[in-house]
A = this chain, B = another copy of it.
């Protein structure tokens, strides 16, 4: 019997409306010794991502560890592909120590890039931007691409990929600091503060030739502002609807028939995607985006918070847009 124990954050209750700190619980639990073919992992960095809010609805059982990807050190390996000391991406969930059977691990080469990038610009958030743009958005020179949460890990890459394709990038972000970052550091053509009361009008002014790609990662008011501006044959990759979580079905009017009519009349493409369906494109993504990061053409920002115990608060803050860049919990250095 191992003397080791893990600190972990479990789902204490299903959120009603907005997620709150009481929906999580920090607890201590014993960790068994790694068996044949298994590894003992120590979490260094934990990724917090909006999709986790969806997992709280059903996928994670009450009392189970919250799911999540992390950068870990291999402490003990009984697995032929890994050795103690390797730095690996893993699906450990929100905890300090864990046992793995070696599935869904990927070695990181710490020499090339800061290891935290494997959770952000060179990881799943970056891949989400890449796949959505390559598969669905397909921006062409001179077109206009709009994305919200533009200082976040997905939105920031969406806009930069748009610029690389020769398109105009319009980003929506919360507050003057993020807007300045989006425009001045990331190089978007325009940044709009979504807290502005006249968002729809500001967006219309920022898109004098309409919108060709609206990368949907928030829903709600941004969708309502972008929708009327969509051009004929516009594309709408749908990767997230974070504003909708915990929302009741709105009373009406029913916007669906008018939406379908616009899809028909304008020949729009509205397509959801889950990046794990397109892992065959992951190596292309890594090659292209890591080259851009290396050259300095692609920029990114991380928002690192210390301590696993602060994950629930940081997660809730992220859903409310209080983060500034990719949210990462430093669990152990």
Contact = CB atoms under 8 A, between A and B. Distances in A.
Interface stretch (A18-26, A40-48, A265-273, A302-310): A265-273
A259 interface: yes
Interface stretch (A92-100, A158-166, A169-177, A233-241): A233-241
A240 B265 CA distance: 9
Interface string A254-277: 111111111111111111111001
A240 to B, nearest CB: 7
A237 to B, nearest CB: 10
A260 B241 contact: yes
Nearest to A223: B260
A98 to B, nearest CB: 27
A254 B259 CA distance: 11
A244 interface: yes
Contacts of A265: 54, 272
Interface in A218-252: 219, 223, 233, 238-241, 244, 247, 249-252
Nearest to A277: B267
A114 interface: no
Given A252-B250, A252-B252, A257 B244 contact: yes
A256 B216 CA distance: 14
Given A233-B277, A277-B233, A263 B254 contact: no
A239 B264 contact: yes
A253 interface: yes
B257 A254 contact: no
Given A252-B252, A271-B268, A257 B263 contact: no
Nearest to A243: B257
Contacts of A264: 238-241, 272
Contacts of A253: 249-252, 254
Contact of A250 (B216, B223, B257): B257
Contacts of A274: 267
Interface in A269-320: 269-274, 277
Contacts of A258: 249
Contacts of A241: 257, 260-261, 264
A148 to B, nearest CB: 14
B238 A263 contact: yes
A261 B272 CA distance: 9
13 contacts: A219-B257, A219-B260, A241-B260, A244-B257, A247-B257, A249-B257, A249-B258, A251-B254, A255-B255, A266-B272, A267-B271, A267-B274, A270-B270
Interface of A: 54, 216, 219, 223, 233, 238-241, 244, 247, 249-274, 277
Given A256-B259, A259-B259, 18 more contacts: A216-B260, A219-B257, A240-B264, A241-B261, A244-B257, A249-B254, A249-B255, A250-B257, A251-B253, A253-B254, A254-B255, A256-B256, A262-B272, A263-B271, A264-B272, A265-B272, A267-B272, A271-B271
